[in-house]
Structure 1
Amino acid sequence: MKIIDLTHTISELMPIYPGTEPPKLKVANTYEKDGFKETLLTMSSHTGTHMDSPAHLFPNGTNLDFFPVEQFIGRALVIDCSDLKEGERITMKYINEVEKTAYRAQFILFHTGWDKRWGTSSYFGEYPYITEEVCEYLICSNKKGVGLDVISVDPISDENLTMHKKLLHKTDMIIMENLTGLEKVGKGLFTLCALPIKYDNCDGAPIRAVAILDG
């Protein structure tokens, strides 16, 4: 069995969505003074590698803490879209190329290679994003969730969050953003474990996402 970490490390200097407060990691207790170390974490619920719930956009949507834990674990497939250039979209072409395997997956993760820009200003540029047709496919095929190695399923210019709303309206789907290392997983199905921090009325949360490969 091989396990691959798909998670960016949270730090005070990490990229954050424009307009969001950066995380703060303050040493609250020290070995010298208290005999132990403890850190006070202050951050938004959609910091770093994170998960969106339907409640992120809809008042009556499901919060992450109301989901059964099984929602966050399942068979997944990484689809390679790394040939896309700036501003190009992830279309059904990529799913159709692996249609039979995608049908068996509970989660679809799109590898664009954009995570290599993590920590640079271009990370917030014209990254690839999914089309409405891809959203329809994910909804109609009853996927548990979708994930990407970019900051959003919507282009940075779309303040209406069109794709978010399409995916999360009247569904219990989850969205994972800012994944990393998807190129290490390979082309076959694997087990995805993406557990969000559990807090009250959880509209979204940082996750520790890992790929568990068979064999």
Structure 2
Amino acid sequence: MNIIDLTHTISENMPVYPGTDGPKLDVASTYEKNGFKETLLTMFSHTGTHMDSPAHLFSKRTTLDSFSAEQFVGKGLVIDCSDLKEGEKITIKYIEAVKEKADKAQFILFHTGWDKYWGTSSYFGEYPYITEEVAEYLLGSSKKGVGLDVIGIDPISDENLTIHKKLLAKSDIVIIENLTCLDKVGDDLFTFCALPLKFKNSDGAPVRAIAILDDNKQNFNLI
């Protein structure tokens, strides 16, 4: 079994969505004074590698804490879109090229390669993004979730959050943003886990996202 971490580390100097305060990690207790170390974490719910719930945009929709834990584990598929240039769209042709596997997957993860810009101003540039047709496929095939290695599922210029709204308005799909290392997973189905911090009425939360690879496919018995 091979486990690949798909999660960026939270730190005080990490990239955050423009206009959002960065996280603070204050040492509240020390070995010298208290005999142990404890850290006070202060951060927004959509910090780093994180998950959006339907309640992120709609007040009466599903919060992360009300989901069963089963929602956050399933068959994943990474789709390689790293050939795209700045601002280009992830069209349905990327789904159609791997349609048989995509139909079986419960999570579709788009690898754009944009995580190479993590920590630079370019990360907030014109990254590739999915079209409404791709969003319709995700909804029509009842996926548990969709993920990308960029800061948002909508282009940075779309203040209306068109794709977010299309996905979250009526479906219980979740969105995982700021993934990394998707290029290490390969192009076969695998077990994907993205477990959000569980707090009451959570509109979103940081996740520890991992890929579990097993050549014998025994990992699918867990799903």
TM over 0.5: yes
The whole-number CA distance in structure 2 between the counterparts of 1:168 and 1:46 is: 16
The whole-number CA distance in structure 1 between the counterparts of 2:175 and 2:60 is: 17
The whole-number CA distance in structure 1 between the counterparts of 2:152 and 2:51 is: 11
SS of corresponding position for 1:166: helix
The whole-number CA distance in structure 1 between the counterparts of 2:157 and 2:193 is: 31
Identical counterparts, % of pairs: 75
Q: Following TM superposition, by how much is the alpha carbon of 1:214 offset from its aligned partner in structure 2, in angstroms?
A: 1.3
Q: How does 1:25-40 map to 2 (within 5 A)?
A: 25-40=25-40
The whole-number CA distance in structure 1 between the counterparts of 2:43 and 2:159 is: 22
Q: Following TM superposition, by how much is the alpha carbon of 1:177 offset from its aligned partner in structure 2, in angstroms?
A: 0.1
The whole-number CA distance in structure 2 between the counterparts of 1:45 and 1:94 is: 31
Superimposed CA distance per residue, residues 171-215 of structure 1 (whole angstroms, 9 cap, x where no aligned partner): 000000000000000010000010000000000000000000013
Q: How does 1:117-196 map to 2 (within 5 A)?
A: 117-196=117-196
Superimposed CA distance per residue, residues 17-50 of structure 1 (whole angstroms, 9 cap, x where no aligned partner): 0011110000000000000000000000000000
**Which amino acid in structure 1 is aligned with residue 100 of structure 2?**
K
The whole-number CA distance in structure 2 between the counterparts of 1:61 and 1:117 is: 33
The whole-number CA distance in structure 2 between the counterparts of 1:170 and 1:112 is: 27
SS of corresponding position for 2:25: strand
How well do the aligned residues superpose, as a CA RMSD in angstroms?
A: 0.4
| 1:91 matched residue in structure 2 | 91
TM-score, normalisation: structure 2 = 0.96
Moved beyond 6 Å, runs of 4+: none
TM-score, normalisation: structure 1 = 1.00
| 2:112 matched residue in structure 1 | 112
Gaps of 5+ in 2: 216-223
Superimposed CA distance per residue, residues 55-98 of structure 1 (whole angstroms, 9 cap, x where no aligned partner): 00001110000000000000000000000000101000100000
* Aligned length in residues: 215
The whole-number CA distance in structure 1 between the counterparts of 2:88 and 2:153 is: 13
Gaps of 5+ in 1: none
The whole-number CA distance in structure 2 between the counterparts of 1:95 and 1:14 is: 32
